[in-house]
Amino acid sequence: QVQLVESGGGLVQAGGSLRLSCAASGRTFSNYGMGWFRQAPGKEREFVAAISWSGSNTYYADFVKGRFTISRDNAKNTVYRQKHSLTPEDPAVYYCAAHEAGSYYYARSFHSWGQGTQVTVSS
């Protein structure tokens, strides 16, 4: 399996921007589609965005379309998520994961989850 480590979380003002990174090690990173999910306290983990192994296809949850951008650099074994116009609804722990099989929109389709990075938004 691939090992994943997220970074880049922190405190940001509402309307601000943040870039999260997910560094991979272990098995060949470029073999996997990658996804970002988030989980707020008391809520289920939800899909945010995903990108195919080549980077040619991207997928977004409706609530982030136009605000978040997912990208990857296979040479650096890293996937990124640029977030703009953060709102008070965005605070959560954000996780990256490697896609195994099935729809990108479901957590059960992913394996090798990272430990998560906390994002907090101040008003």
Residues 10-48: tens digit of each pLDDT: 999 999 999 999 999 987 888 899 999 999 999 999 999
Write out pLDDT tens, residues 82-121: 777 888 889 999 999 999 999 999 999 998 999 999 999 9
Q: What is the pLDDT of residue 7?
A: 94
DSSP secondary structure of 12-42: EETT--EEEEEEEEES-GGGS-EEEEEE-TT
Write out pLDDT tens, residues 34-43: 999 999 999 9
Cα–Cα–Cα angle for 45, 46, 48, rounded to 5 degrees: 135
Contacts for 41 with CB less than 8 Å, ≥ 6 apart: none
Band (pLDDT 50/70/90 cuts) for residue 81 is confident
Percent of the chain beyond pLDDT 90? 72
Q: Report the Cα 72 to chain-centroid distance in Å.
A: 11
